[in-house]
Amino acid sequence: MINFRHLISPECIILQLDKTEHEEVVLEMIGHLSEIGKIASKDCYRYSQAVMERESQTGTGLGAGIAIPHARVPGLKEEVAVYGRSGEGVDFESPDQGLAHHVCLLLVPEDGASNHLKILRELAKVFSQADLREKISSAQSAKEISELLCIGAADL
């Protein structure tokens, strides 16, 4: 089981995404990772390009208002993630044609393929819990969202 407390700590949460366009949201989220020191600012463009290249292969919208844009990137030492909540929703080409209101962007080291899939699987399971998504939607703080994600992961 992944350590959600470490992966998506309160500092890794954006309560309200400012952007509504797919690529702009990816840039906003990667910029946030840089602002909190999880990645170097010099890598923002390269990492956002890696995510968008992955997105061009197939959308990362899962349906039910969830998207998990992700990429394996060279030079990254450990997995990093950022969660963003969008009131308006963002089009991540979901199979149900719906907009994503819960976006969790994941970056993993280039050589971390097996961990990459494990983390994606666990994130998808956590966010597939409708009651949890509802609680996250009404949460008032990043700390509250982080705690809810940890509880959701523990319930798996």
Q: What is the per-residue pLDDT for 52? A: 96
Full domain range(s) for residue 150 = 4-154
What is the CATH classification number for the domain harbouring 111? 3.40.930.10
Quote the DSSP letter at residue 72: E
Contacts of 65 (CB under 8 A, 6+ apart): 89, 98, 99, 100, 101, 102, 133
Q: What is the per-residue pLDDT for 26? A: 98
* Residues of the chain above pLDDT 90, percent: 82
pTM, rounded to two decimals: 0.94
Mean pLDDT of 83-103: 95
CB-based contact 90:21 (threshold 8 Å): yes
Q: What is the per-residue pLDDT for 152? A: 86
Q: What is the per-residue pLDDT for 104? A: 97
Q: How many domains does the chain have?
A: 1
